[in-house]
Amino acid sequence: MIDVRRIRTDYDAVAAALARRGGSLEELEQVRALDVSLREITGERDQIRSEVNAISKEVGSLRRDGRTDEAEAKQAQSRALGDREKELADLTDDIGARTRDLLLHIPNLPSDDAPDGAHAEDNVEIRRVGPGDDASAWADHQRVPHWDIGTELGILDLERAVKMSGAMFTMFRGAGATLSRALCQLALDHNSDAFEEVRPPTVVLTDTMISTGHLPKFADDAYHLERDDLWAIPTAEVPLTSLARDEILEGAELPMRLMAQTACFRREAGSAGRDTRGLLRVHEFDKVEILAYAAPEQAAELHAELLARAESLITALGLTHRVLDLCTGDLGNSSARTFDIEVYAPGVDQWLEVSSVSWFSDYQARRANIRFRRAGEKGTEIAHTLNGSALAVPRVWAAVVETHRQADGSVKLPEVLHPYFRGNTEIRAKN
């Protein structure tokens, strides 16, 4: 969340930054008004406390002097002040809770470097690798959608997945399941030189979801286990961010790099009829996430590193792709700056987002109370968090089988996947 002290001392700059996102400033204005009231009430409360302390000393002196009636009158005055102090304390708690709730709904301030824009069409393409969506660059046998390829090869069984779990669930079989697992293992191996592998829980507490900004704003997109008040994670970003929640890290430990492979669950509310065929939009999928805690001055370099790592995997898989610098109007709620990687899938003739690599400044860490202490200094600072999809299976799986489909219907496996396929270098239909 945004630091309320910044709203107090530099409101115009905060308002101008949020205005770049194109949303309403009503909640920000409410926070400012509540903060003014809170400081006024706190001032009155502190004044009353001071008066009560002074009266207490006076009562003691009066009793020592035998002036009992005056002492009792002062005590009555003290009790009345105490009742008022309690009223003010309750009011302070109420205003504090209302302020925090508003802050939890206000998005992060975009980076000065994020391009201005209102929607996805304003995102800036910073590079493209491969032929892209040039129709002449793709053969007819690559223009087959992955759901047809998967059915022909017996590696994707959507019909039975729907029978088991309903629409927008998927099931890989045979070499399709191996491909799913291979993609994840490739991503873990690729990043094992610098990132600690973690296997976190896939259901988490409400506070854990709040820490990343997924709650309260995006509750409708998450799976809630109401009986236990637990949430199925939409991404490993959620538990990894809370790994250090309410902790103070040593500055020498930063940057701290973590990675995790987990199942991810998303309700995809409001997506009916929109890119829901095949693997384009699903309720459950496997993904490898990379995440880092950092000091503020380390963030820019780490952001570039996470992007390079995610993009290098897509390059190694031989996929046409582009990198987009998201405009302020298309940024995620918690993000200060985000780069998206999109692959071109020739079978569905679409650019598919496969990775978002984001810098959250101190927005998430403030919600999660993640601090660090610099060597030789007494105070602490709020850390910065960054994360990215090292590799999310469904759309990458789709792009791989469409891009590398051969004229005879087989799929030639990218060389980087060969070690995970038990000596096979292609996927063919079973006889």
Of the candidates 309, 367, 395, 405, the residue annotated as catalytic is 395
3-state secondary structure of 341: strand
Which H or E run includes 357? strand 350-359
Cα angle 415-417-423, degrees, rounded to a multiple of 5: 85
Which residues lie below 8 Å from residue 384, measured CB to CB, with a gap of 6+?
293, 294, 295, 296, 298, 299, 359, 360, 361, 362, 365
Sign of CA dihedral 329, 334, 336, 339: negative
Integer angstrom CA distances of residue 337 from 60, 67, 332, 390, 427: 61, 69, 9, 17, 39
Is 337 labeled as catalytic in the residue annotation? no
Of the candidates 21, 245, 257, 266, the residue annotated as catalytic is 266
Are 213 and 242 in contact by the 8 Å Cβ rule? The answer is no
First-last CA distance in the chain: 57
Is 353 labeled as catalytic in the residue annotation? yes
Of the candidates 356, 358, 361, 389, the residue annotated as catalytic is 356
Measured distance CA(162)–CA(158) in Å, rounded: 6
Which H or E run includes 292? strand 284-294
Integer angstrom CA distances of residue 36 from 28, 30, 96, 250: 13, 10, 11, 35
Is 70 labeled as catalytic in the residue annotation? no
Is 356 labeled as catalytic in the residue annotation? yes
Nearest to 391 by CA among 427, 420, 348, 425: 420
Residue given tokens 């792009």 in the structure block: 399
How do 230-232 and 337-345 pair as beta strands?
unpaired
Which residues lie below 8 Å from residue 325, measured CB to CB, with a gap of 6+?
114, 115, 123, 124, 125, 126, 337, 339
Is 389 labeled as catalytic in the residue annotation? no
Sign of CA dihedral 139, 145, 148, 149: positive
Measured distance CA(156)–CA(151) in Å, rounded: 6
Of the candidates 27, 44, 353, 426, the residue annotated as catalytic is 353
Of the candidates 49, 98, 143, 281, the residue annotated as catalytic is 281
In 20-67, alpha helices (H): 26-64
Kindly provide the residue ranges of all beta strands, DSSP E only, lying in 68-107, ordered along the sequence: none
Q: Which sequence positions are flagged as catalytic? A: 266, 281, 353, 356, 395
